[in-house]
Structure 1
Amino acid sequence: MLKKNVGPDIAETLGKIDSTDKMDELFKQSMDDTQLTRLKTIKNQKVQKRIADAIAVCRPATVFVNTGSSEDRQFIRNLALENKEEAPLAMENHTIHYDLAKEQGRIVDRTFYITDPHEEISTLANRMERDQALVDIETHMGGIMENKTMIVGFYMRGPVGAPASNPALEITSSAYVSHSAEILYRNAFHGFDREVEKLGHFFTNIHSEGQNRTEDLPNARVFMDRSYRTTYSFNCTYAGNTLLLKKGNHRFAVDKAVYENRGKELSEHMFITGIKGPQGRVTWCAGAAPSGCGKTTTAMAGDCFVGDDLAQMWIAGDGSVRSINPECGIFGILQDVNWEGDPQLMENLRKPGTEVIWTNVLVDENKKPHWVGNGEAAPEKGFNFQGEWHLGMTDSDGKTVPISHPNARCTLAATALDNYSPESENPDGVETRMITYSGRDSDTMPPVWVAKNDEHGVALGACIVSAATATELGVTGVRRAPWANAAFIPGALGDYMDAQFKFFSNPAIAPDKKPVMAGLNYFLTHEARGGDSKKLLGEKRDVKVWLSWLERYAHREVKRIETPIGHIPLYEDLKLLFMEVIGKEYPRELYVKQFSLHIDNIIKRLDFQIDAYSNETNIPDTLFKVLHAQKKELVLLKEKQGAVVSPETMAAD
């Protein structure tokens, strides 16, 4: 069990601000009258104290209090350019930011939970004892902002007024980080006191980019203090390590759901999108996928966009499951984003009118950005994430240097999207009737299948596997990715899983409002189904059909085929939906390839999960019951029908 306020608070210990007089004197020394007046409009003493501690530790030359006004936002943009954290591009309001060449993803090996004796954390995470972390933070953060401007921002992670939103401070010396926060989160300066008072908590994030030198990277750190809900980050540039409102605070939100509101609330690594059905109805879907596995593409395939990365969920008084997006913008991966698969996003990236921060792409001599998979002709030369670049360039290992890094990103406001939904700011959230789980699975599961019940649905989320992506440094191969959230689960995996089972089996969810829980996979390849190509067996845009079938399923308007892994579609329903939704023929031969069960592969996957979870502590027995039952049914099916069973064979049974 997580205990709050245990052990010395590192910011408070190092800050040594032990009286209101000391705090006021520090504020007067650190900011001019305008900034001081702004700060004094924040009346909450705990919030003021947290800011004072950060100032005392980092010792900035000056402090800027960001109110979220248009003037303040422009000041931050200008500062990012002045500090050379960003550079202007040809299109108005487009800028480019480059992370350090060796820091193009989350620094998993240098990211730590600050822990106290006997505190249990996820077996998939790193820990550092509190006394050691205190020394590390004191050594590297003490005076780190000398001669720099500290920017203090006040944000809401979620719509103002939503019960699952979280107030958070973002304290940073990086104008790029502050600029990104202004696009991705809701500046709540004028209502911050009210929200903190109502919700009873806030998160704190303290970051300094240091001197932005490669030689500093061995000493780069991201610390998360769960006990005091405070993150620390230094010597980093990549937003996944510096914009601590994002995955740093997501971890605190996971803790809050698991240890304070178990069975009533969830904090998930999910997109939220609305799918239109017959007569114009909209059915809302939330879907989990590891970073780099298509969350943005899937979210954009929906008709009504709310979010592409994170979701806060709770059970409302009417018995429905409600979801909100903690963010209000997109920090999206660019690789393979093109006019064919992502037309709405491309409208904003290639046409004027939208503010965009680009990261780690190639910029040509005309200051136009380019990236891998954009479907356009690549320039012969330019500047990218590793410096000067030319066509055919190779690295020291003889490998071709791509025009952009696989984790290159674009940051823009969600309101710019044509399918943006105003429901994004509804404090009541959207009623969520579909939940999907997916990863980069090239050879095992079909494109879509529905869990038999909520226990099977939770097991489905627990058993996501995926090929490693470019979002994490030093991670390779195919690996487990429970709920696509494992990297952000601070506590024991068994606790998190128990929270999932309790949430989806909660009798407070009305029977007619229970979400459909489904697997989603559009990474199957021709090679895995008897071909000789590693290309997708289908197209990215097909996901709109899989989501549309789930939408009809949620309203009991389509039939299904019963299988050991769950329910799969009938060919006739999919054939109609392919033509209706994306105007495309869907051959029966392709259906058979995509939805035949390759039983040996699935059993191997189940054994992999059973073995892995057997090595964890306090995993709910329900998981093993579900997995063993599926395996038993698959073995019987194989004995009866063979190792590869077509959907038509299962339908006939």
Structure 2
Amino acid sequence: MREISTLTIASYTTKPEGVNPMLELRKGDDILSTVGGITSITEAQAILKDKLDAENFSKISKITNTEALIKIANAINMCAPDHVFINTGTPEDQQWIRDYSLSQEEEAPLTKAGHTIHFDLPQDQARLVNQTYYIINEGEEMSSLAKSLLRPEALTYIKEYMPNVMQGKTMIVGFYSRGPVGAAAALPAIEISSSGYVLHSAEILYRNCFAAFDAEAARTGLFFTNVHAEGDNTSADVPNARILMDRSWGTTFSTFCTYAGNTLLLKKGNHRFSVDYATYYKLEEQLSEHMFITGMTGPGDRITFFAGAAPSGCGKTTTAMVGSHFIGDDLAQIWLAEDGTMRAINPEKGIFGIVEDVNQEGDPNLMDCLRGDGTEVIWSNVLVNDGVPYWAGNGEETPQSGVNFQGEWFPGKTDAEGNPAPISHKNSRCTLLASAIKNHATDLAEDPAGVPVKVVTYSGRDADTMPPVWVAKNSNEGVVIGASIVSRATATEVGATGVRRQPWANAPFIPGALADYMKAQFAFYNSAKFSDNNAPIMAGLNYFLTHENRGSNEAGILGEKKDVRVWLGWLELFAHGDVEAIDTPIGYLPKYGDLKILFAGIDKEYPRELYDMQFALYIDNILGRIQLQKDAYSKEPGIPQTLFDVYNQQEKDLLSLKEQFGAIALPQMLAA
């Protein structure tokens, strides 16, 4: 067996010139090895031969990466499963996983072929934010928004709860690539779980790279390892659930939960590790972002690609789906290519999408998959009536009975607190291949070269301050737009409430100090390696302004889902110099005439009165928002002065504007 343990960590631990990493790799005890007890390939081979049947041992023998085999052997020794199944990604192995999940009653078949339903425990319907921790070493600087455990504390938990946790169960081991195999920013990972549902989801959401795993681990110099055990899957176990992410060793541990956001740690767990990697070891070269990727068709059939960040529940999937060339709706691995363009790939090949308010009017392409034939879909936590799924906001008639995440459901049912029981959980999901969606650009999405990104957007959930769309005047102001996102906590997070800052919409997934991440953002977007006119424009989006906050007697949001096409359409034109804009202290705003034309393109009137409500600058609100951010960031050590310089200049210009026009500046005043 080929010895490549040193090679697998070389690029990850080598300090790039000019970088002083605050994250030291392979520091402290490797908890998986400490608890599993396997330290050599000879011991690992003995465990694998003893615990795997002949067929599965033959499969694993095709993997030659010594470190990977030792990690798998340690997981087996620690968790003590009755059986081990090696998933090579063949149709036969994929079908075995589907059948296993059904046999364990983790999923149940629905009426439509290829559709199944999965119910999470009532206490495990979203990310367990208060039970999610980074495993750190003494003295490591962490994000102020992150929770952490020192290595000895994490070791104590794992020693107590993970030995023998898979007794009576089958451990499934899969090998995946987070991105098209061979892409500059793609990274390989191993997913280990006793849950058929978790591996079924992995097969839809990620690219199985069993055949290429050794080569990819050698090319990238690292891989991530994820170990999940649901235990007995009872409500009584959920308080003991933990999602632990070992930054130094690139290993996650997840216990006593089944919600995919807590268990399929290829997703947000490994995204966090990728953020660390880009921040500390790929400065000015790569970013790892909580972003959609989509392409818009402009004049002359040109395709302009967007990458956009938004916290969960703030329209990220809807925005992605608007594109004519949809690539991904959640995550992006980004790099600065040799040709001086910003390139992006989707680390996923599927969608784990929130279904509340998905309907034919706003999401026709997705609805064709969910209600049509021929698409494999795993549903979670929706209402099922006669084998058909229903969810809140689907635009269809609600049945009078069914089963959902709380058991039997009927109109008028209340929960334990006396609140009306919804037909589906607010975080109910659908899992399906992205390539099933009509506007998915599958060939481009699978191209290791990635797509060239021309527009970067940031959006949150803001009812009273920022306009629907605005463009930063330069890259520094663009980074500050990302740093200034605010939102409300959503149903994607258990135990989180209220209005919160959501820097870059990536803050929940930034392990290290926010100052380090911010420096990496400024370094990337200001890189001299961008070729002429290839640096992206950077913009803000806000779909959540309300009538009440803009002086209207009506109620609700100032707009609707289909307006997204207009905001992106204007950005596409602006990025190519096809439209002019209004210069303001916060950036460039669209002119009314250009938007009116774009709204006509979606068969919608756009009165001047609505434009004025949406794009008027409520100066006191903006000043208050800037002060909120300045106060918060002033408590963060090491924040680059550039951030405060941008805020200070915007404050100065806004106060000057207020002196000239008063507290509310209408667009026509600014354009004069």
Question: Normalising TM by the smaller chain, what interval?
Answer: over 0.9
Q: Which amino acid aligns with 1:503?
A: F
Match of 1:334? 355
Q: Equivalents in 2 of 1:542, 1:525: separation in Å?
A: 14
Q: Which residue of 1 aligns with 2:645?
A: 625
| Match of residue 309, structure 2, among 288, 293, 296 | 288
CA–CA distance in structure 2, aligned partners of residues 140 and 534 of structure 1: 51
Deviation at 1:531, TM superposition (A): 2.5
The offset of 1:533, in angstroms, is 4.3
Match of 1:180 in 2: 201
In the other structure, the counterpart of 1:34 is: 55
Which aligned pairs between 1:143-182 and structure 2 lie closer than 5 A?
A: 143-182=164-203
User: Which residue in the other structure is 1:634 paired with?
Assistant: 654
Q: 1:257 pairs with 262, 270, 278, which one?
A: 278
- 1:344 counterpart (362, 365, 368): 365
Equivalents in 1 of 2:269, 2:523: separation in Å? 25
Please give the alpha-carbon distance, in whole angstroms, between the structure 1 residues aligned to 2:369 and 2:355. Answer: 13
Indicate conservation of the 8 Å contact 2:286/2:524, yes or no.
yes
Distance 1:396 1:78 in 2: 35
Cα distance in 1 for residues equivalent to 2:168 and 2:417: 40
Residue 499 (1) aligns with residue 528 (2): no
Structure 1 distance, partners of 2:41, 2:188, is 23
Whole-angstrom CA distance in 2 between matches of 1:539 and 1:18: 58
- Structure 1 residue 207 corresponds to structure 2 residue 221: no
In 2: Cα distance, 1:245 partner to 1:166 partner: 10
**1:134 match:** 155
Shift of residue 550 of structure 1? Answer: 0.4
Aligned to 2:19: none
Query: In structure 2, what is the equivalent of residue 79 of structure 1?
Result: 100
- 3-state SS, counterpart of residue 637 of structure 1: helix
Do 2:40 and 2:70's aligned partners in 1 also have CA atoms closer than 8 Å? Answer: no
Whether 1:394 aligns to 2:410 is no
Counterpart check, 1:317 vs 2:332: no
Kept in 1, the 8 Å contact 2:41–2:69? The answer is no
Secondary structure at 1:279's aligned position in 2?
Answer: helix
SS at match of 2:418: coil
Matches within 5 A, 1:328-477: 328-364=349-385, 366-421=386-441, 422-477=443-498
Cα distance in 2, alignment partners of residues 408 and 588 from structure 1: 38
Deviation at 1:645, TM superposition (A): 0.9
Cα offset for 1:586? 1.2
Q: Does 2:583 align with 1:566? A: no
Whether 1:89 and 2:120 are equivalent positions in the alignment is no
In the TM superposition, what whole-angstrom CA distance separates every residue of 1:629-650 from its partner, at most 9, and x where no partner exists? Answer: 1111111111110111111111
1:588 has 2:608 as partner:
yes
Structure 1: state its 5+ residue gaps: none
SS in 2 for 1:124: coil
1:355-400: CA deviation from partner (whole Å, max 9, x where unpaired): 0000010111x11111111111111111111111111111232211
- Deviation of residue 15 (structure 1)? 1.1
Question: 2:314 touches 2:460 (CA, 8 Å); kept in 1?
Answer: yes
How far apart, CA to CA, are the structure 2 residues paired with 1:392 and 1:510? 61
Identity of aligned residues (%): 58
Q: 2:665 aligns with which of 630, 633, 645?
A: 645
Q: Partners of 1:533 and 1:169 in 2: how far apart?
A: 52
Give the aligned partner of residue 66 of structure 1.
Answer: 87
- Which residue of the other structure, out of 526, 531, 534, is the alignment partner of 2:552? 531
Q: Quick one: which amino acid aligns to residue 631 of structure 1?
A: E
Q: Is the 8 A contact 2:630 2:647 kept in 1?
A: yes
Distance across 2 between alignment mates of 1:377 and 1:533: 27
CA distance in 1, matches of 2:65, 2:42: 16
Q: What are structure 2's unaligned runs of at least 5 residues? A: 1-21
2:85 aligned counterpart, secondary structure: strand
Rounded Cα–Cα distance in structure 1 between residues aligned with 2:566 and 2:32: 50
Task: State how many pairs are aligned.
Answer: 650
Q: Distance in 2 between matches of 1:454 and 1:332?
A: 31
CA shift, 1:534, in A, is 4.0
Q: For 1:423-447, what per-residue CA distance to the aligned partner results, in whole angstroms no more than 9, with x for missing partners? A: 0011111000000000111111110
Measure the CA separation in 1 of the matches of 2:403 and 2:465. 40
Partner of 2:131: 110
**C-alpha RMSD of the superposition:** 0.8
SS in 2 for 1:418: coil
1:16 — aligned with what? 37
Contact 2:39–2:70 at 8 Å: present in 1 too?
no
1:271-310 correspondence to structure 2 within 5 Å: 271-310=292-331
What's the counterpart of residue 257 of structure 2?
236
- 1:218 paired with 2:239, answer yes
Match of 1:485 in 2: 506
- SS of the equivalent of 1:441 reads coil
Measure how far apart 1:121 and its partner are: 1.1
Following TM superposition, by how much is the alpha carbon of 1:278 offset from its aligned partner in structure 2, in angstroms?
Answer: 0.4
1:522 aligns with 2:548: no
| Equivalent residue letter for 1:396 | A
Q: What's 2:13 paired with?
A: none
SS of the equivalent of 2:493 reads coil
TM-score of the two chains, using structure 1 as the length reference: 0.99
Q: Deviations along 1:144-165, whole A, 9 cap, x unmatched? A: 0011000000000001110100
Aligned to 1:611: 631
Post-superposition Cα deviations, 1:239-290, rounded to whole Å, max 9, x if no partner, equal 1100000000000000000000111110000000000000111000000000
- 1:22 Cα offset (Å): 2.1
Q: 1:266 aligns with which of 281, 287, 293?
A: 287
Deviation at 1:19, TM superposition (A): 3.1
The 10-residue stretch of structure 1 (628-637 or 448-457) with the greater mean CA deviation from structure 2? 628-637
Give the Cα separation in 1 of the matches to 2:523 and 2:270.
23
Please give the secondary structure, in 2, of the residue aligned with 1:511. coil
Taking the aligned partners of 2:559 and 2:28, their CA distance within structure 1 comes to: 54
Task: Give the 3-state SS of the residue equivalent to 2:494 in structure 1.
Answer: coil
1:513 aligns to what SS in structure 2?
coil
Letter in 1 for 2:610: L
- SS for the counterpart of 2:445 is helix
CA distance in 2, matches of 1:613, 1:25: 53
Question: How far apart, in 2, do the equivalents of 1:502 and 1:511 lie?
Answer: 17
Question: In 1, distance between residues paired with 2:94 and 2:314?
Answer: 32
Structure 2 length normalisation: TM-score? 0.96
1:322 partner amino acid: R
Structure 2 Cα separation of the partners of residues 510 and 534 of structure 1? 47
SS at 1:512 equivalent: coil
Deviates more, 1:18-27 or 1:344-353: 18-27
How far did 1:511 drift? Answer: 3.3
Instruction: State the distance in 1 between where 2:41 and 2:611 align.
Output: 69
Partner amino acid, structure 2, of 1:639 = E
Q: Deviations 1:32-75 (Å, cap 9, x if unpaired)?
A: 10100100000111111111111111011010000101111110
